[in-house]
Amino acid sequence: MSSENKKKEGLVPEPSLRRMPCYLAYLKLAKRRNQEFVSSTHIARDMGVDPTQVTKDLSYTSIVGKTRVGYEVNALIEVLEDFLGFTKLDKAYLFGAGSLGNALLHDHGLDQYGLKIVAAFDVDPKVIGRSIEGVPIFHVSEFEKMKDENVQVGILTVPAEFAQDVAQLMAAGGIKGIWNFTPIRIRLGDDVVVQDTSLYAHLAVMFNRMGHVKK
Ligand SMILES: NC(=O)c1ccc[n+]([C@@H]2O[C@H](COP(=O)([O-])OP(=O)(O)OC[C@H]3O[C@@H](n4cnc5c(N)ncnc54)[C@H](O)[C@@H]3O)[C@@H](O)[C@H]2O)c1
């Protein structure tokens, strides 16, 4: 089965997908250090992952390593970026231009990961009509008129109490993927992918692990 088909059928396990951007960052660093080749053993050692896991993760892409030398750094960067969809720029709308929304609007890293915020929506008269990093902010009621089939990604950064309603509005307006930063479990039909993301979840894990570190 081709890697494209595997991806379509959702056979790539989530932990593998989550590790791939880390491999990419590692490889970009290797490139800056003028390294031409890198082996899965080296990636594994430097990233603290099992070598067989690295090989397995990379096998979901089309790349094959060369015996003894490993993977060509440039080629692997290209393959990973393409596989993860980072080469084509997806347009996104942001809902909630508050503290977190602002931070995301200022994050230049998103472009490198294939996401470009083209407009933001809010209800606060203090921000409506302004631009942040060149991204215009509209009243959320304008979204209906601005429906665009080329914008299928929505970033949800509104207060928790409005999250479900705004998510429904997004879905009704043709948004197919919601990057949900709110702590609310969004309920929508199967035609919309909702990806929850929480800094605090990782903080909780860190605190828990710190409690188990030997003193
Ligand atoms: N996932 C994370 O790691 C993480 C981190 C910080 C905050 N959050 C969550 O992100 C959300 C935003 O947090 P914040 O600190 O930026 O809050 P904030 O109050 O600074 O910003 C929220 C913005 O949403 C706007 N808003 C309110 N109702 C709206 C609506 N119906 N449509 C569009 N915009 C609307 C507000 O006017 C405000 O500008 C919260 O749900 C918070 O819990 C998550």
ipTM of this model?
A: 0.99
- What average pLDDT does this structure show over 118-141? 97
The finding on whether 183 has its CB within 6 A of some atom of ligand 1 is: yes
Closest atom of ligand 1 to CA, residue 102:
16
Which pLDDT value is given to residue 66?
Answer: 82
Closest atom of ligand 1 to CA, residue 196:
1
Give yes or no for residue 5 having a pLDDT over 60. Answer: no
181 Cα–ligand 1 center, Å = 8
Backbone torsions φ then ψ of 197, nearest 5 degrees: -140, 130
113 Cα–ligand 1 center, Å = 22
Question: In order of start, what are the domains of the chain with their CATH numbers?
Answer: 3-82 (1.10.10.10), 90-201 (3.40.50.720)
Compute the half-sphere exposure of residue 150: CA atoms within 13 Å on the CB side of its CA: 8
pLDDT band at 171 (very low <50, low <70, confident <90, very high): very high
What's the pLDDT tens digit per position in 53-101? 999 999 999 888 887 888 999 999 999 999 998 888 999 999 999 999 9
The finding on whether 161 has its CB within 6 A of some atom of ligand 1 is: no
The finding on whether 180 has its CB within 6 A of some atom of ligand 1 is: no
Q: Whose CA is nearest to atom 9 of ligand 1?
A: 182
60 Cα–ligand 1 center, Å = 36
- What average pLDDT does this structure show over 160-180? 97
- What average pLDDT does this structure show over 184-193? 96
- What average pLDDT does this structure show over 34-50? 93
Give yes or no for residue 6 having a pLDDT over 50. Answer: no
Give yes or no for residue 10 having a pLDDT over 70. Answer: no
Residue 175 CA to residue 136 CA, distance in Å, equals 19
